[in-house]
Amino acid sequence: MTTRQSAVDALLARVRAAVRAQPVTVREVPSHAVVRRVTCDTANLADLFATKAAAVGMRVTRVDEAGLDAAVTTLLATHAQADAKVVVAMRDANLAARASAIAGTRLAANDNDDLLFDCFVGITDVDCAIAESGSLVVSTNGRIRNAWVTPPIHVAIVRAAQILPDLVDLFESATDALDAASTTIITGPSKTADIEGVLVTGVHGPAAVEIVLVS
Amino acid sequence: MNPLIAPALPFDMKPRAREAVRDLKLQQFVGNATHLKDTQRGGIFDRDFGAEYDALRTVARDTKQYALDHLDELLERFIANAEKSGATVHAATTGREACDIALSIARAHQAHGRAQSCVKSKSMVTEEIGLLPAFEAAGIKTLETDLGEFILQIDGDAPSHIVTPMIHKDRVATAKSFVRELGARYTEDPTELTMIARAHMRGLYRAADIGVSGANFLLADEGSAVICTNEGNFDLSVGGPPVHIVFVGIEKLIRGARDLAPFLKLLARSGTAQPLTIYTSFVCGPRRAGEHGGPKELHFVLVDAGRVGVLASEKRDLLRCIRCGACLNACPVYRKVGGHSYGSMYAGPIGAVLTPELERAQGGANASQSGAGLANYPDLPRASSLCGACYEACPVKIDIPKFLLHDRTRLRERGLSPKSEGATLALWRWLAERPTLFRMAIGAVRLHARMLGQKDSRDERAWLTRVPGPGAGWTQSRDLGVATGESFREWFSKRGSR
Amino acid sequence: MRVALFTTCLAEALAPRALKATVLVLEHCGVTVELPTAQTCCGQPMLSNGLPGDAALLARRMTEVFAPYDAVVTPSGSCCSVVREKYAGLFADGSRDRAAVDALAAKTFELIEFLETKLGIDPATLRAKSSPRASTAPLTCHDACHLRGIHRHGCTEPFLRSACGGDVRELPDMTQCCGFGGMFSTQFPEVSTALGEEKLAHVASTGATTLVASDTGCAAHLAGLAHRKGVALRVISPAEALAESLGLMEVQESGAPNGGKHGAPNGEKHGAPNGGKA
């Protein structure tokens, strides 16, 4: 047995003894019903999601399927200079091809670990989104890790059908989002208020999160 | 380690508290920030949970208590699942052991003779175990990436709040440090200062050999860790370097993602009045085959450092703490004395009970004696007006005042409380068992005031400007008004039965 | 219903007028008040300062002294919370003492709480039974932190606002502790004083010249601080505020703490209506 293994076993043994040293006060985890704020009965999850996402400082552009390419094109033109590098990190191969076509020559070559630091925009799809908090859920399932946090601009494409009512649903649904090596729930642009409580965005992650909501 | 949070023991809180009260800047920064956060916390819970807030806290309390009551099962499951995901799990009994584990991981990756560098995400447990000094001593250049922690690091300062570590500092101090340490041009604009730090750190992220972080939750079912940040620095710390080490106290375990929602909903609201932190990041094993980015090795260092002892004690409840900082923001004493007065990285009400308890549990032969840690922190249990604001603010309902009282009893038993005060209380109790004598004693106080006090022009009251014995602290800044006219009992009996 | 007044030792020594007012207000509400003369101290100082054994002795005394009564009423929010919240922890589950303190806890009330929840009095109708004075001096109200424990924190001001009908002003940051904290006030005098000064500054910002503080300790701390600083501020209990506004007590003269002639003495106003006495 390795030293590491024996230390782990010793910890387990001590924890076992410690647990038994006091009476068990809670034998069953209580119902979490009160935790849920939004149910699937909510009339328009897309509206709620858009409102909440805006409330935490993300920008939402609502389009139909036909308007998606144009919206992404506009956002790229708004945020990135013509030669600024773009990374596309999509699980949906079809969407990835469309976004790559839009990015054209600016598309970063996917060949080294720190390409992300050279990129100005990261375009991703999402595993799902959460209406209650206006959050995006992005994982490494089929995506380049951190494409949503390293470049200064994150463009996220969300389909209305991907919106879950509540955070609770992320943990209860059949989504494989949490099976990935890395999953991030994003609820706004990167921010800090460390200096005298003054809110500053873009401290490490993106200063702007642009959501293209496709219904 | 920084003496601000790891002072010489036994720790004397009073000089630091006195100094803090006189520091007008500190009063302003800490007072304003804590009041604001406390008010916002109330507001967001009213808005989002209304009358159900208390029920939500009860759910969180019981869910976390369940985890503690079954921590052995959960730990076993976590270890199995984390290893299944490809992570390596280590266990450390002491802070020193935890540092040594990290150092040996680092050494295993050291190319011949080359200096190593580390990017570190904010973590309380690494403060506790003194990881930074250990890394620096081993020549591993370590960067605190959380903006507040970074500013404290370059200033040789220490965090004074669990969530907002530089609550005691202002933009002017930051501006000066950036000129001095980074060669930046002088600016007091928080946005510009933030961008200077960002630019400085980007290159360091790219070059780092090791990433280090803490964790807010460990999920037994998934074998993964959950880390909450607003800046995104955890994601960058874990995404780039080839090795990542998560240091985590064993009390962070919960059953799994199925139990996570109440805590995530409470944590950010309680701490910073946000619905969720900007980034809630799950890390489950190292990068997988074919993946782009992420550490090739992921290590979990499970830290005891006294926690097992707390688990076994009557203070198990303290391990429910999710480090939201709400009790600090709500505490009138913290607002006045600031974090450094507590002589620990855990300041405020939770720190006042947790610090001596962790100290006790790490105390070797004395570890089993209740209250043994108090000899080194005798002021902490007394540094509270017992107002109960901390208990009211706590998202997992830790009854902090109850534990403060418990510790005051241990202090008294161990002879660590002022003797004169104990004698006064014993006399008071003795008199209180003898009603006639007790009334005479009250009469004597009133007589004393009538003879020696300064008469009030408005009513039948006299003001004492000096009180002897344990009461001397009172008249240091206050007079004592004593009613000298007809006593209540005289009045009541004179009126007769009505 | 036999109602006993729980005077508290601090009020007997420092604030007898608050006790007189409590009796007058209760009588105004039709309650006959009895005074168990053997009562002394509830044990809070011992309980809060590491002597639970001593506190338990006094807790047991309290159960005996108040055993004959159906309700126990006190003007002190803090002592009330000790009986209600803390006594149980002094004795083992299932013990006879535990049953006795539980029974005492169930019948012990802070004055305003008693009026509102036990007697079901609508504060707005209180004035109808008296010849209220038009209140002149603006007042503001600070609740004792220990009212949190009995879920009454923040309840005093709305009651007074409705009952007094006068100029009751909202105290900014009311929920922050005044810094008294029992022996905390002498162990950490600088911190205690700084908190008290902050409270007085908030009081001053309201323009109120009378502060109602719902615990004798908080009142003594804030009044003592104001007196030392030469600040003209009356600090009274909720019972006094009620008794004065209902015309049951003379209003004390307010003014500079050390100037002017003697104000009206403590005590009952002559010929005050003793309305509704049972």
Q: Which of A35, A117, A178 is opposite residue B261, by nearest beta carbon?
A: A35
pLDDT score, position B460: 80
Give the integer Cα–Cα distance in Å for B284 and A181: 5
Quickly state the pLDDT bin for B110 (edges 50, 70, 90): confident
CB distance B341 to B101 below 8 Å: no
Query: Please, what's the largest Cα pairwise distance for chain C?
Result: 59
Q: How confident is the model at residue C134 (pLDDT cuts 50, 70, 90)?
A: low
Q: What is the pLDDT of residues C245-267, one digit of tens each?
A: 898 998 875 544 443 333 333 44
CATH of A38-214, one of 1.10.300.10, 3.40.50.10420, 1.10.287.890, 3.30.110.40: 3.40.50.10420
Check the CA dihedral B47-B51-B53-B59 and report its sign: negative
DSSP track, B310-357:
HHHSTTGGGGG-----HHHHH-HHHHHH-GGGGSSSS-HHHHHHHHHH
Q: How far is it, in rounded angstroms, from Cα A96 to Cα B125? A: 41
Positive or negative, the CA dihedral B118, B124, B127, B130 is: negative
Cα(C86)–Cα(C192) distance, rounded to whole angstroms?
23
Average pLDDT on B398-402 reads: 98
Looking at residue B305, its amino acid is A
* Residues in contact with B65: Cβ distance below 8 Å, sequence separation at least 6, in sequence order: A25, A26, B316, B317, B320
Phi-psi region of A2 (alpha: psi -120 to 50; beta: other; left: phi over 0): beta
Asked if the Cβ–Cβ distance from B166 to A171 is below 8 Å, we say no
Alpha carbon C146 to its chain centroid, in Å, reads 11
Q: Where are the domains of chain C?
A: 3-116, 123-245
Tokens for B215, please give them: 């964790």
Domain edges within chain A: 38-214
Distant-in-sequence, close-in-space partners of C2: CB < 8 Å, separation ≥ 6: C34, C68, C69, C70, C71
- Phi-psi bin for B355: left (phi > 0), alpha (psi -120 to 50), beta? alpha
Say if residue C22 is exposed, middle or buried (CB neighbours under 10 Å; 0-12, 13-18, 19+).
buried
Distance CA C82, CA C80 (A): 5
pLDDT in tens for each of the 215 residues of chain A?
Answer: 689 999 999 999 999 999 999 999 999 999 999 999 998 777 799 999 999 999 999 999 999 999 999 999 999 999 988 889 999 999 999 999 999 999 998 888 766 655 899 999 999 999 999 999 999 999 999 999 999 999 999 999 999 999 999 999 999 887 889 999 999 999 999 999 999 999 999 999 999 999 999 99
B332 with C179: Cβ contact below 8 A: yes
Chain A residues whose CB is inside 8 A of the B35 CB are none
Biggest CA–CA distance in chain B, Å, is 97
Measured CA distances, C137 to A207, C21, C83, C215 (Å): 54, 18, 34, 21
Q: What is the mean pLDDT of residues C209-227?
A: 96
What amino acid occupies position B243? V
Judge if the upstream peptide bond of residue B10 is cis by omega within 30 degrees of 0: yes
| C4, containing H or E segment | strand C3-5
Which residues, in sequence order, are bridge partners of residue B464?
B480
Question: CA-to-CA distance for B95 and B72, rounded, in angstroms?
Answer: 21
HEC sequence for A127-187? CEEECCCCEEEEECCCCCCCCCCCCCEEEEEEEHHHEECCHHHHHHCCCCHHHCCEEEEEC
Q: How confident is the model at residue C277 (pLDDT cuts 50, 70, 90)?
A: very low
Nearest Cα residue to B279 out of B245, B241, B238, B320: B238
The C-alpha R_g of chain B, in whole angstroms, comes to 26
Kindly determine whether residue B72 and residue A16, on different chains, have CB atoms separated by under 8 Å: yes
Report residue B1's pLDDT band, with 50, 70 and 90 as the boundaries.
Answer: confident
User: Which chain A residue has its CA at the smallest distance from B296's CA?
Assistant: A181
Q: What are phi and psi of C35, to 5 degrees?
A: -120, 100
List the single residue in B224, B292, B308 with the smallest CB-CB distance to A144.
B292
C124 touches chain B (CB under 8 A): no
Strands B279-283 and A182-186: antiparallel
What letter represents residue C107's amino acid? K
Q: Please tell us whether the domain made up of C123-245 is placed in CATH 3.40.50.1860.
A: yes
Closest CA to B485 of C38, C15, C216, C33: C15
CA distance to B9, B120, B123, B141, B162, per residue, from B132 (Å): 21, 9, 11, 9, 17
Residue type, C143: D
Q: SS3 of B279, please? A: strand
Query: What's the confidence (pLDDT) of residue C129?
Result: 67
> Cβ of B190 under 8 Å from any chain A Cβ?
yes
What the block records as the tokens of C137 is 């001096």
Backbone CA torsion sign across C7, C10, C16, C21: negative
The per-residue pLDDT for A112 is 60
Cβ neighbours of residue C9 under 8 Å, at least 6 residues apart? B432, B438, B442, C40, C41
* pLDDT at residue B168 greater than cutoff 80: yes
Q: Which residue would you say has higher pLDDT here, C166 or C98?
A: C98
Share of chain B above pLDDT 90, in %: 90
Q: pLDDT tens digits, residue range B207-224?
A: 999 999 999 999 999 999
Order of strands across the sheet with C108-110? Answer: C33-34, C3-5, C71-74, C108-110
Class of domain B89-309: alpha beta
* Whether the Cβ atoms of residue B175 and residue B191 lie closer than 8 Å to each other: no
Q: Which residues in chain B have Cβ-Cβ distances shorter than 8 Å to A4?
A: 88, 90-91
Short-list C144, C112, C141, C74, CA closest to B386: C144
Q: Where in chain B is the domain with CATH 3.40.50?
A: 89-309
- Helix or strand (DSSP H, E) at C82: none
Cβ separation of B458 and C260 shorter than 8 Å?
yes
Three-state SS at B283: strand
Cβ of C50 within 8 Å of Cβ of B486? The answer is no
If contacts are CB pairs under 8 Å, which of residues 105-134 in chain B contact chain A? none
Cβ distance of B190 and A200 shorter than 8 Å: yes
User: How are beta strands C139-142 and B279-283 bridged, if at all?
Assistant: unpaired
